[in-house]
């Protein structure tokens, strides 16, 4: 359809384009500032209120944080927990989704309705904390992985995906004597790669960004994750009147805060093209009945 544009329409278009471009830029500005600042000297950060390009380029802040054991430990920990956690959570979700996709399974409806109920009601923070404590998982990295092992939404979407695959695929494999596990492993999983990649990203982002679980379950600060470390570094010490604060704590230089933020954001930005593509679709699927 061709819209015949009037003068007023053209003025509106121009204003709208400029406005949206500004929105896009403003959205990005805080991060551009932090990114530029992470490569600037402390003197420049103090002198210039805002800049998107450092006058004097330095890697000092990065050299400093990467020589800080607390930071490197938090970074390595977070990478490992994210990698292992994603695999574990994906495995839990897929192994449960597959049988639930089979209509002849006994108790399937009951299990599904219990899953849906768990979506809208939970025991809450304290009973979950006490459970994790009673299981002896306090200060264990499993406390960051297991309590969130299956996201009910993801489970139901993967189940629906399996259900929609043609049944002939499985029947011919069964003729050849394959077990259900063999069918899942050799036939369904290779077919579901794009879907699994989406949910792997979903779980990975969840673990990487998680702040609440380490706050609740990791009291030993030598086991902290990157988000906990970031919180410790960037919150002004006098503002941390809410939790466990070291009275001898000296606030770090601005450049160091910038560098830590950049490192904590980088993986998200690297995977962003995939995230945008797959999650936008997922958001629309999520609004369709499970």
Site residues (CB under 8 A) for other proteins, limited to 73-112: 91-93, 95-100, 102, 104-106, 111
Q: Find the helix or strand (DSSP H, E) in which 206 lies.
A: helix 193-209
Q: Binders of other proteins among 57-76, rule CB under 8 A?
A: none
Kindly state the helix (H) or strand (E) to which residue 199 belongs, with its residue range.
Answer: helix 193-209
Q: Which of 123, 174, 222, 285 binds other proteins (CB under 8 A)?
A: 123
Q: Which of 38, 62, 141, 210 binds other proteins (CB under 8 A)?
A: 210
Q: Cα 168 to the chain's mean position, in Å?
A: 36
Measured at the CA of 287, the angle between CA 146 and CA 158, to 5 degrees, comes to 45
Identify which of 153, 254, 144, 261 has the alpha carbon closest to the alpha carbon of residue 210. 144
Query: What's the 3-state SS for 123-134?
Result: CCHHHHHHHHHH
113 vs 222 by CB, closer to other proteins = 113
Radius of gyration in angstroms for the set of CA atoms belonging to the chain, rounded to a whole number: 24
Residues 155-174 vs other proteins: string with x where CB under 8 A?
x-------------------
Closest CB 289 distance from other proteins, rounded Å: 7
Cα torsion 189, 165, 194, 190: sign: positive
Is the Cβ of residue 211 or residue 249 nearer to other proteins in the bound state? 211
By the rule CB under 8 A, 224 interacts with other proteins: no
Give me the least distance between CB of 273 and other proteins, in Å please: 9
Q: Please, what is the end-to-end C-alpha distance for the chain in angstroms?
A: 36
Distance (Å, whole) CA 59 – CA 260: 13
State in angstroms the smallest separation of the CB of 143 from other proteins: 11
> Which whole-number Å values give the CA distances from 170 to 9, 93, 103, in the listed order?
57, 20, 14
Maximum separation of any 2 CA atoms in the chain, in Å: 75
**Residue 276 to residues 55, 167, 252: CA-CA distances in angstroms?**
33, 32, 34
Sole binder of other proteins in the list 67, 69, 124, 247 (CB under 8 A): 124
Site for other proteins in 34-53 (CB under 8 A): 34, 46, 49-50
In the complex, least distance from residue 247 CB atom to other proteins, rounded to whole angstroms: 14
> Please, what is the minimum distance in Å from the beta carbon of residue 101 to other proteins?
10
- Which of 103, 121, 175, 176 is close enough to bind other proteins by CB under 8 A? 121
Interface residue with other proteins among 53, 67, 103, 126 (CB under 8 A) is 126
Structure tokens belonging to residue 146:
């297991």
Taking CB under 8 A as the criterion, which residues in 239-278 touch other proteins?
239-243, 254, 257-258, 261, 264-265, 268-269, 272, 275-276
**Contact region with other proteins (CB under 8 A), list: 53-61, 62-70, 141-149, 168-176:** 141-149
**Residue 171 Cβ, how far from other proteins at the closest point, in Å?**
15
**Least distance (Å) between residue 213 CB and other proteins:** 10
């Amino acid at each position: 359809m061709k819209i015949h544009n009037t003068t007023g329409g053209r003025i509106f278009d121009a204003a709208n384009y400029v406005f949206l471009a500004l929105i896009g830029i403003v959205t990005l500005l805080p991060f551009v500032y932090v990114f530029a600042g992470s490569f600037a000297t402390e003197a420049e950060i103090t002198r210039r209120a805002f800049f998107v390009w450092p006058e004097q380029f330095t890697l000092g802040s990065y050299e400093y944080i990467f020589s800080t054991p607390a930071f490197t430990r938090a970074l390595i920990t977070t990478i490992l927990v994210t990698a292992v956690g994603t695999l574990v959570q994906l495995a839990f979700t897929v192994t449960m989704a597959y049988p639930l996709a089979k209509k002849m399974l006994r108790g399937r409806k009951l299990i599904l309705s219990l899953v849906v109920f768990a979506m809208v009601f939970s025991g809450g923070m304290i009973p979950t904390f006490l459970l994790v404590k009673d299981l002896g998982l306090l200060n264990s990295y499993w406390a960051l992985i297991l309590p969130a092992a299956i996201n009910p939404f993801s489970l139901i979407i993967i189940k629906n995906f399996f259900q929609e695959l043609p049944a002939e695929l499985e029947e011919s494999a069964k003729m050849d004597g394959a077990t259900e596990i063999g069918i899942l492993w050799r036939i369904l999983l290779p077919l579901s790669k794009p879907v699994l990649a989406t949910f792997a990203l979903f779980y990975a982002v969840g673990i990487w960004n998680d702040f609440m679980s380490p706050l609740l379950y990791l009291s030993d600060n030598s086991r902290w994750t990157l988000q906990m470390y970031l919180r410790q570094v960037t919150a002004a010490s006098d503002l941390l009147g809410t939790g466990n604060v070291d009275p001898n704590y000296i606030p770090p230089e601005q450049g160091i805060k910038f560098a830590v933020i950049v490192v904590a954001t980088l993986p998200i930005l690297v995977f962003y093209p995939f995230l945008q593509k797959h999650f936008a679709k997922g958001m629309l699927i999520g609004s369709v009945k499970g």
